[in-house]
């Protein structure tokens, strides 16, 4: 005789049904874990790309700051040279006016030039 109860067609043993359900839950959990791992990898790649971009921006910022410093120094030198040239021109203009007036009139200051021009 058989100690096992007779199985009817289409019936599954209760232990097998539990095993089947547990296997499905495990597969679902593994799929979710795999998706989470892939999302994490993408986030890590994005983070690495962002770090690379930030580093490049930092390098660009340093380069631009150096260029700006150089441009400011050059601008200051040009302004100083421009003032020196303007002073020399004023002196030359005063000397020329003195010579043209026969040496009687003292050199005219830069601010007085407008008054002389208005008189003409």
Q: What confidence tens digit (pLDDT) does each residue in 70-115 have?
A: 999 999 999 999 999 999 999 999 999 999 998 655 545 555 544 4
Q: What is the pLDDT of residue 22?
A: 94
Q: What is the pLDDT of residue 120?
A: 44
Q: What is the pLDDT of residue 14?
A: 73
- Domain parsing of the chain, residue ranges: 16-115
Residue 4 carries which DSSP code? S
Say whether 15 sits in a helix, a strand or coil. Answer: helix
Q: What percent of the chain has pLDDT over 90?
A: 67
Which residues, in sequence order, are CB contacts of 108 under 8 Å at separation 6+? 93, 94, 97, 116
Instruction: State the pTM of this model.
Output: 0.46
Residue with tokens 């979710």: 32
Contacts by 89-97, CB closer than 8 A, 24 or more apart: none
């Amino acid at each position: 005789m058989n100690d096992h109860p007779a199985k009817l067609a289409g019936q599954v043993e209760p232990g097998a049904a539990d095993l089947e359900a547990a296997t499905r839950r495990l597969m679902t959990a593994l799929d979710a874990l795999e998706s989470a791992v892939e999302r994490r990898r993408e986030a890590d790649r994005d983070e690495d790309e962002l770090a690379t971009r930030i580093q490049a921006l930092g390098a660009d910022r340093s380069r631009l700051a150096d260029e700006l410093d150089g441009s400011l120094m050059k601008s200051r030198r040009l302004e100083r040279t421009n003032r020196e040239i303007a002073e020399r021109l004023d002196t030359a203009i005063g000397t020329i006016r003195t010579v043209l007036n026969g040496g009687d009139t003292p050199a005219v200051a830069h601010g007085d030039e407008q008054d002389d021009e208005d008189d003409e």
